[in-house]
Amino acid sequence: MAEILSSAVLPAMQKEEKDYFIEKNGVIFAGCHVLADLWGACNLTDPDYIERALKEAIETCGATLLHIHLHHFGKEQGVSGVAVLAESHISVHTWPERSFAAFDIFMCGSCDPKAGLPVLRKYFLPEDMKVEIQKRGVLL
Please identify every residue annotated as catalytic. Answer: 88, 93, 108
CA distance 30 to 71: 29
Segment 28-71, tens digit of pLDDT = 999 999 999 999 999 999 999 999 999 999 999 999 999 999 99
pLDDT of residue 15: 54
pLDDT at 117 exceeding the cut of 80: yes
With beta carbons less than 8 A apart as the criterion, state whether 36 and 129 touch.
yes
The CATH number fitting domain 31-136, selected from 3.90.1150.10, 3.30.565.10, 1.10.3720.10, 3.60.90.10: 3.60.90.10
Q: Inform me whether the pLDDT recorded for 10 exceeds 50.
A: no
Would you kindly state where each structural domain of the chain is located, as residue ranges? 31-136
